[in-house]
Chain A
Amino acid sequence: MSRAALVLGAREAAGVPAAVLAAGYLGFGALAAGHGLPLSLVVASTLAVWALPGQLILVEMNTLGAPHFAIVFTVALSSARFLPMTLVLMPLMRDARHRGWHYYVLAQLLALTGWTMAMARFPEIERAQRLAWFYGFTVVCLAASAAATATGYLIADLLTPLAKTGLVFMAPLYYLLILVGGVRQRTAALALACGALAGPLAYLGSAQWSVLVGGFAGGTLAYLIQRQGRLGG
């Protein structure tokens, strides 16, 4: 693995991406402390689930006393996005020189920030270097988020409810900006627009199934529209 690419990825993460993720996880840690869960469990949730929406569902449903089956099912449905995300990113990193198990480790490290950044950066990075770059980037993001989760938990009493809300609000804002600002291809922009409409609409029908159904419907619609345009229809 290329050390230079690993360091480059880590450096690119150790700035705005890690800082904004840390802010979001600071808020998450502080919220989770208020729900009476132990520190070790809350930090472990960042490492094991590594998806803020799923972790919020876990903490909030657990506090409401929902049955465990229902919690696991809802977290599973909210994480469905990882299937198409992994399917799209892995072929871009695949190289005959890498051993097969790397892809299964990277699959766990993959989350929204790393994925979006990789999709934007990979065209400029040589194929054989991408895997190392992605390791560097995502490990820094994960480490910063885990540290922020613990910090947020420990300083929860110092934060007002308003401050916690402000911190939790930073994560979706960050995703909004990197998606709107980072997408260059027309097809991707079209898929974002269709998904942004279909997601909330599907949520009105069924909260649990909204990510799957909305993404499927919005993505298919975007695909059909761009295909129609491409074929000159």
Chain B
Amino acid sequence: MAESWVLLALCGLATYAWRGLGARLSSEIDAESEVFAWISCVAYAMIAGLIARILVMPTGALAETTLVERALGSAVALGAYFWLTRRNLFAGVFAGAAAVWLMKLLI
């Protein structure tokens, strides 16, 4: 079991390496510079890429759902958020998850 704790510590350190490096380097970056504009594009693109990948090609538990189910669930979430409830995040997220749950249950 000690081995699992070492593994967790290493994963925590590996994740913090990026965070700490960012904190260290951030003092040398000018928020008005072109480099900053480029880095913020990369930050948004990395996040969007990760979320899109999880929704389109998930691994693990989410892989039990089909692409159609996830696409419909996402569409229901967006619809509930933007049109039905005037941007209520709670309603959007729960409607989307409930839609996937219902599709799995009924089909």
B84 surroundings in chain A (CB, below 8 A): none
Q: Would you give the 0/1 interface string for B1-40, flagging 1 where the beta carbon is closer than 8 Å to chain A?
A: 1011111111110111111111101110111001011111
Alpha-carbon distance between A91 and B52 when the two chains are bound, in angstroms = 28
User: Are A173 and B97 within 8 A (Cβ)?
Assistant: yes
User: Are B22 and A85 within 8 A (Cβ)?
Assistant: yes
Identity of the chain A residue whose Cβ is nearest the Cβ of B51 in the assembled complex: A175
With contact pairs A56-B60, A219-B44 given, residues A199 and B25 touching in the complex (Cβ less than 8 Å) = no
Q: Would you give the 0/1 interface string for A176-216, flagging 1 where the beta carbon is closer than 8 Å to chain B?
A: 11111101000110111111111110110000001110111
User: Are B22 and A79 within 8 A (Cβ)?
Assistant: no
With contact pairs A87-B39, A108-B16 given, residues A62 and B7 touching in the complex (Cβ less than 8 Å) = yes
Chain B interface residue bracket vs A: 35 or more
Question: Is residue A150 within 8 Å, beta carbon to beta carbon, of the partner chain?
Answer: no
With contact pairs A48-B9, A82-B18, A88-B36 given, residues A195 and B45 touching in the complex (Cβ less than 8 Å) = yes
Residue from A38, A82, A188, A200 in contact with B57 in the complex, judged by beta carbons closer than 8 Å: A200
A215 surroundings in chain B (CB, below 8 A): 42-43, 45-47, 49-50
Alpha-carbon distance between A89 and B36 when the two chains are bound, in angstroms = 10
User: Are B92 and A71 within 8 A (Cβ)?
Assistant: no
Interchain nearest-CB distance for A133 vs B (Å)? 18
Interchain nearest-CB distance for A150 vs B (Å)? 16
Question: Is residue A90 within 8 Å, beta carbon to beta carbon, of the partner chain?
Answer: yes
With contact pairs A75-B15, A223-B37 given, residues A41 and B74 touching in the complex (Cβ less than 8 Å) = no
Residue from B23, B25, B62 in contact with A104 in the complex, judged by beta carbons closer than 8 Å: B23
Interchain nearest-CB distance for B41 vs A (Å)? 4
Main secondary structure of the interface of B (DSSP, over half): helix
Interchain nearest-CB distance for B97 vs A (Å)? 5
- CB contact list, A40-55 vs B, under 8 A: 41, 44-45, 48-51, 53-54
User: Are B81 and A195 within 8 A (Cβ)?
Assistant: no
Identity of the chain A residue whose Cβ is nearest the Cβ of B33 in the assembled complex: A91
With contact pairs A79-B18, A216-B42 given, residues A48 and B11 touching in the complex (Cβ less than 8 Å) = yes
Alpha-carbon distance between A134 and B88 when the two chains are bound, in angstroms = 22
With contact pairs A68-B10, A169-B96, A203-B53 given, residues A81 and B61 touching in the complex (Cβ less than 8 Å) = no
Alpha-carbon distance between A116 and B12 when the two chains are bound, in angstroms = 22
Question: Is residue A218 within 8 Å, beta carbon to beta carbon, of the partner chain?
Answer: yes
Residue from B70, B81, B97 in contact with A167 in the complex, judged by beta carbons closer than 8 Å: B97
> Can you name 6 extra interface pairs (CB under 8 A) apart from A106-B23, A181-B81, A218-B49?
A91-B30, A92-B31, A192-B47, A195-B46, A198-B45, A199-B52
Residues on A close to B: CB < 8 A?
16, 19-20, 23, 27, 31, 37-38, 41, 44-45, 48-51, 53-54, 56, 58, 60, 62, 68, 71-73, 75-76, 78-92, 94, 103-104, 106-108, 110, 112, 116, 161-170, 172-181, 183, 187-188, 190-200, 202-203, 210-212, 214-220, 222-223, 226-227
Closest 10 CB pairs of A and B: A199-B49, A86-B22, A215-B46, A195-B45, A219-B42, A48-B12, A195-B48, A90-B26, A219-B45, A218-B45
